[in-house]
């Protein structure tokens, strides 16, 4: 396909595709799917080889969030029967992180529900970052605490945080359909605050909320402009008890097309398969490793993931290798630029991602696989061993 040859050439040069080209990737047929994966895989291997970075989530505070994000099991008014608990102590969080690090993770993502941290919350998280780093040489720590106020990103950076996650989730035009308690602009502002403080910015999206192809392209192009170092791609987990519980709009094939489009638009950025991969990619997960170079190990915030041992076996069986703590994730030109690399020169670069934000795509949709949505009952906030 001329389209794929063009996209590979652009990806190897870190050149932005056109919107029409990005839309064309999402419109490819199932007969063309392996060609799409192979083409995007060339771009992935150019910048990341066959390495897979493992990340591990620690939910510091679960549930009871005052925000009304429709996709989130921790939202205001959620009837999802998830774990609910207040802040973990630093030693508890460090113990939880240790399980993921022992399983091969090199980054720990510290997440807390809520609109954003108070100054006391920043102190708590700072103590947790120190506890984790004191016990684990070379570990990366990413914080995901919601909307940041002035000066908080700098305090997290001083405490040892390496990165900050705050997802855009969907396009600006449809953002108000999924959340009313804060704005798309609020999210952009927090990503910019993280960038400005010297933190590695992490920002991504949620697919499967009923959005159109145009919405997906809009949010990915917006992410490229923000220039995060990592882009997590979540696939909606339709929790019973949330407004989007009936939104089953994804097939494994569509998930792969979305990941390929993200890779073409953000060729040299850490693309992470995040929440929902087990629910929607299912047996096609190994193919997704040819598109993304990063995954979460084990469980998510409020849902259970694939067993950590199965993750490691999948990576090995697919011919990939786990990225070590002594290896630099980003390509040399991005790593040298630091967390605030120029978007002009460098290219594109929280809560569970799983109102409807657009029409359902005109292709077959999955049957509801509610059997694959399993609420987390182990790990942080419980007396049971975590999945790592």
Catalytic one among 14, 44, 65, 107?
A: 65
Give yes or no: 255 in active site.
Answer: no
Q: Please list, in sequence order, all residues whose beta carbon lies within 8 angstroms of the beta carbon of residue 194, skipping any fewer than 6 positions away.
A: 148, 153, 163, 164, 166, 200, 201
Catalytic one among 51, 72, 224, 257?
A: 72
- Mark the binding-site residues, compressed into ranges: 65, 69, 72, 109, 142, 202, 272
- Mark the binding-site residues for [4Fe-4S] cluster, compressed into ranges: 65, 69, 72
190 vs 108, 117, 122, 166, 231, CA distance in Å?
A: 20, 12, 15, 7, 15
Catalytic one among 144, 202, 266, 357?
A: 202
- Mark the binding-site residues for [2Fe-2S] cluster, compressed into ranges: 109, 142, 202, 272
Give yes or no: 357 in active site.
Answer: no
Catalytic one among 44, 142, 157, 266?
A: 142
Give yes or no: 65 in active site.
Answer: yes
The crossing angle, in degrees rounded to 10, of helices 252-265 and 2-12 is 50
Catalytic one among 14, 44, 69, 107?
A: 69
Nearest to 176 by CA among 354, 359, 357: 357
Contact 387, 308 (CB under 8 A): yes
Give yes or no: 144 in active site.
Answer: no
Contact 253, 33 (CB under 8 A): yes
Catalytic one among 44, 272, 277, 376?
A: 272
Give yes or no: 75 in active site.
Answer: no
Q: Which residues are catalytic?
A: 65, 69, 72, 109, 142, 202, 272
């Amino acid at each position: 396909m001329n389209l794929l040859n063009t996209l590979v050439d652009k990806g190897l040069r870190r050149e932005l595709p056109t919107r029409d080209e990005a839309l064309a990737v999402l419109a490819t047929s199932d007969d063309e799917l392996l060609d799409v994966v192979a083409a995007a895989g060339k771009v992935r291997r150019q910048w990341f080889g066959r390495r897979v970075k493992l990340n591990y989530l620690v939910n510091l505070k679960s549930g009871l969030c005052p925000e009304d994000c429709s996709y989130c099991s921790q939202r205001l008014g959620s009837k999802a029967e998830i774990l609910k608990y207040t802040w973990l102590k630093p030693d508890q969080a460090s113990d939880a992180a240790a399980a993921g690090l022992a399983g091969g993770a090199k980054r720990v993502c510290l997440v807390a529900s809520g609109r954003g941290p108070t100054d006391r919350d920043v102190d708590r998280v700072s103590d947790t970052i120190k506890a984790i780093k004191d016990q684990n040489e070379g570990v990366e720590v990413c914080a995901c605490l919601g909307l940041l106020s002035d000066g908080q990103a700098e305090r997290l950076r001083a405490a040892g945080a390496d990165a900050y996650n705050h997802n855009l989730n969907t396009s600006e035009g449809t953002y108000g359909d999924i959340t009313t308690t804060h704005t798309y602009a609020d999210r952009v502002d927090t990503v910019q605050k993280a960038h400005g403080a010297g933190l590695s910015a992490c920002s991504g999206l949620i697919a499967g909320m009923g959005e159109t192809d145009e919405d997906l392209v809009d949010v990915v192009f917006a992410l490229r402009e923000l220039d995060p170092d990592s882009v997590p791609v979540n696939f909606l987990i339709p929790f019973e008890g949330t407004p989007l519980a009936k939104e089953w709009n994804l097939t494994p094939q569509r998930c792969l097309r979305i990941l390929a489009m993200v890779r073409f638009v953000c060729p040299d950025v850490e693309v992470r398969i995040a929440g929902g991969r087990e629910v929607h990619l299912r047996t096609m997960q190994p193919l997704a490793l040819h598109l993304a170079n990063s995954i979460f190990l084990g469980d998510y915030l409020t849902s259970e993931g694939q067993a950590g041992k199965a993750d490691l076996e999948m990576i090995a069986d697919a011919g990939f290798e786990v990225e070590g703590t002594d290896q630099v994730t980003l390509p040399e030109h991005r790593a040298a630029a630091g967390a605030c690399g120029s978007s002009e020169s460098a290219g594109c670069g929280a809560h569970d991602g799983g109102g409807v934000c657009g029409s359902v795509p005109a292709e077959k949709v999955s049957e509801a696989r509610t059997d694959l949505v399993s609420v987390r009952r182990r790990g942080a906030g419980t007396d049971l061993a975590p999945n790592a």
